[in-house]
Amino acid sequence: MHWFNWLVVIAYLAWVVIDGIRKSKGTDTISGYFAANKSLSWWVVGLSVMATQLSAVTMIGTTGQGATDGLRFVQLYFGLPLAMVILGVTLVPLLHGSGVYTAYEYLERRFDAKTRSLTAFLFLLSRGMSCGTIIAAPGVVFSAIFGIPLGWSVALIGIPTIVYTMIGGVQAVAWADVKQMVLIVVALLAIVVVLMFQMPVNPHDALQIAGSTGRLRTFDFSFTVNETYTFWSGVIGGTFLMLSYFGTDQSQVQRYLTARSVDEARSSLLMSAYWKIPLQALVLLVGVGVFVYYQFVRPPLLFNPSHEEAVVAEAGAAYAALQSEYGEAFTLRESAALRVASADGDVDAAMEEFLAREADIQTIRGEALALAEDVTGESSRDVNYIIPRFVLSELPIGLTGLFIAGVIAAAMSSIAAELNSLATTSVIDFYRRWVKPEATDAHYLVVSRGATAVWGLFACIVATYAATLGSLIEVVNRFGSFFYGSILGVFLLAMIPRSRGTGAFVGLIAGMSAVAAVTFGAPSVSFLWHNVIGAVVVLVVGLLLGGIGSEGDTA
């Protein structure tokens, strides 16, 4: 990468850390450190909420998914606007008004200590591991693209994030999120502008080419529980997923607990309700645009450069033969794409020809990917490398650095929120609750900063060993999906006056068991439906056991 691009990246990193530390004023109490003294405006919190949800995987993985699969992924977010409105009138006033630092703290007031501790423990377990994967995803890509050891790229992303999160607490995280969100949107728009100027065909023809491969098909109205991205799984399963994520996950709840008032907290969530679907559509459209661009500019046969190097070194002859075939197939597909663009009358015949040539390319790509898998012994799936390779080879100097900084910003904003929430839950729900209930704010601050550093280092270590921990991380992520809906069920029970602690606790275990049974018994059922199943089972069991147990508070 050109030195000027590195300069842009380093300038961004320095700016975000220095400004984060400057924003640490007023964080000498736990209210300041964990809740920014409830002083933030709705737009700061709103951008922080959006930046937390938008990770580096969105920047490189989802754009890549747009290039290979089109727009249908956006259906996952169809339930988000409704979920935000529902949360605005249910959990947000409940949590913000109760003066808690964590969502789980509220569960003890409403139910009992065991329900609080179990939900908090489940959060620490899943988020602790997922934090490692959030660093690992861009870390692995940067390592391959720039040819640097994985440990370095993990450190590049992880260490600055740990520094400003540890020193500045939630306030530094929120203000860094604001800058990071702006940078992310600017970086995405920069690619859109470059694509518009460099695209060899006009927008109508580009859409015609993308459409002929099905990449502009957003809506799938089929009602099948085995398909992840359909209109119905998005609207029903997606609503439950988003209710759970934004309503009960401390990494999001902590964002809106910093708002000045309940109304400002509500408004901050509404920002996502308005903008999430258009933003996600933009991310996917960038990928679709890159797909069309690569019809006219020959892309690499393998997008992962480290795999390409390994294949050239160990199976050079076979790879050269594939490259030759690929070159010929590309020329034929390019001509077919131009015919789709210029066809006046017989568009269908031109599209048919184009699709046949596209299938040829995919066959050759499949052979190259299989070769890479044989040579490296790793998964050769290279969706995450499409956009970084495009950015490095096609974007002008400066904009490349801006986009790479945008990817790092997306990673940092998600990691910072997670580290911040992991430290808060560790200190408030465990250390202060069970180990040292009476201590000064200064003491809790020292412990909180230590907890942030420990979680940060743990996440970096998990990320560094991500390749070898692959199967373990998958197990943890799958385990995470067992209880996401179930935890939502517990919070829904909390709003029903007749529910009690024992019902909530037993319901939580029953909900997780039901989801585990579905996961292993019917693995084809899409994960979005797990959230619905978990929440409903907890509600039913919790209400059946309604009269049993303690009630710490009324709903």
Partner 1 sequence: MTDAESSTDAAKARFRGTLLRVLTVQVVALAMLGLLQILYG
Which C-beta is closer to partner 1: that of 71 or that of 510?
71
Least separation in angstroms between residue 294's CB and partner 1 is: 18
Note the Cα 210 to chain centre separation in Å.
26
Given a contact cutoff of 8 angstroms between Cβ atoms, the answer to whether 376 and 310 are in contact is: yes
Which C-beta is closer to partner 1: that of 76 or that of 210?
210
Alpha-carbon gap, residue 158 to 61, rounded angstroms:
19
Least separation in angstroms between residue 217's CB and partner 1 is: 4
Which C-beta is closer to partner 1: that of 283 or that of 369?
283
Least separation in angstroms between residue 207's CB and partner 1 is: 5
Q: Which residues contact 52 (CB under 8 A, 6 or more apart)?
A: 177, 251, 252, 255, 413, 414, 417
Which C-beta is closer to partner 1: that of 214 or that of 327?
214
**Running DSSP on this structure, what letter comes out for residue 77?**
G
Which C-beta is closer to partner 1: that of 110 or that of 215?
215
Given a contact cutoff of 8 angstroms between Cβ atoms, the answer to whether 49 and 256 are in contact is: yes
- Binding residues vs partner 1 (CB under 8 A): 71, 74, 78, 81-82, 84-85, 88-89, 207-208, 210-212, 214, 216-219, 266, 270, 273-274, 277-278, 281
φ, ψ dihedrals at 111, nearest 5°: -115, -95
**SS3 track for 187-256:** HHHHHHHHHHHHCCCCHHHHHHHHHHCCCCCCCCCCCCCCCCCCHHHHHHHHHHHHHHHHHHCHHHHHHH
Least separation in angstroms between residue 344's CB and partner 1 is: 16
Which C-beta is closer to partner 1: that of 273 or that of 515?
273
Least separation in angstroms between residue 107's CB and partner 1 is: 25
Alpha-carbon gap, residue 347 to 527, rounded angstroms:
39
Alpha-carbon gap, residue 170 to 448, rounded angstroms:
11
Among 521, 527, 539, 448, smallest CA distance to 245 is for 527
Alpha-carbon gap, residue 256 to 269, rounded angstroms:
8
Among 403, 411, 399, 404, smallest CA distance to 57 is for 411
Given a contact cutoff of 8 angstroms between Cβ atoms, the answer to whether 254 and 107 are in contact is: no
Which C-beta is closer to partner 1: that of 271 or that of 402?
271
Alpha-carbon gap, residue 35 to 37, rounded angstroms:
5
Least separation in angstroms between residue 224's CB and partner 1 is: 19
Which C-beta is closer to partner 1: that of 72 or that of 449?
72
Structure tokens at 333: 């597909």
Least separation in angstroms between residue 196's CB and partner 1 is: 16
Q: Which residues contact 440 (CB under 8 A, 6 or more apart)?
A: none
Which C-beta is closer to partner 1: that of 36 or that of 284?
284
Structure tokens at 487: 């935890």
Which C-beta is closer to partner 1: that of 78 or that of 123?
78
DSSP bridge pairs for 73: none
Least separation in angstroms between residue 252's CB and partner 1 is: 18
Least separation in angstroms between residue 354's CB and partner 1 is: 13
Least separation in angstroms between residue 351's CB and partner 1 is: 11
